[in-house]
Amino acid sequence: MKLSFIKPVYAHCDLPCGVYDPAQARIEAESVLAIMKKYDGYDEVGKTRALFIKEERAELVKRHLWVLWTDYFKPEHLEKYPNLHDLFWKATKQAGECKHHVEPEEGQKLLDQIDEIAKIFWETKKA
């Protein structure tokens, strides 16, 4: 028996809310960078906690970027911005690199990449 009144829905979560924003990834990346900048000032216990939190936040950056990439952006966006796939690939790889480093330059690189993605995102929202 087929239920004809049930229709599929598509969204980044279980509800079709349509809310997407690169700010989610950026906030987590800002946390990663802040931890990197303060890392040398922590004692051994603080360093252990900082590494755990930094890695957790870097993983959240990856998650937020992938939701944006796989659920928000469409083929027409890729046609208009052919470097979009490469930007996302590099940014998610950089988030992974931030899990392995404590140098602030690595965190700043991630923020810069997210800013590039955000610029394109907001341009697509104007269209």
- Tell me which residue range forms the domain holding 50: 23-126
Residue 10 lies in a domain: no
Residue 98 lies in a domain: yes
Give the span between the Cα atoms of 101 and 122, in whole angstroms.
30
> Residue 126: what pLDDT?
87
- Domains in the chain, number: 1
Residue 8 lies in a domain: no
CATH of the domain at 64: 1.20.120.400
Residue 70 lies in a domain: yes
CA atoms lying within 13 Å on the CB side of residue 37: 8
> Residue 12: what pLDDT?
47
Residue 16 lies in a domain: no
Please say whether the beta carbons of 10 and 80 come within 8 A. no
> Residue 98: what pLDDT?
97
pTM of the model: 0.85
As averages over each run of 10 residues, the pLDDT of the chain (127 residues) reads 56 63 97 98 98 98 95 95 97 97 98 98 91
Give the span between the Cα atoms of 15 and 7, in whole angstroms.
13
Residue 5 lies in a domain: no
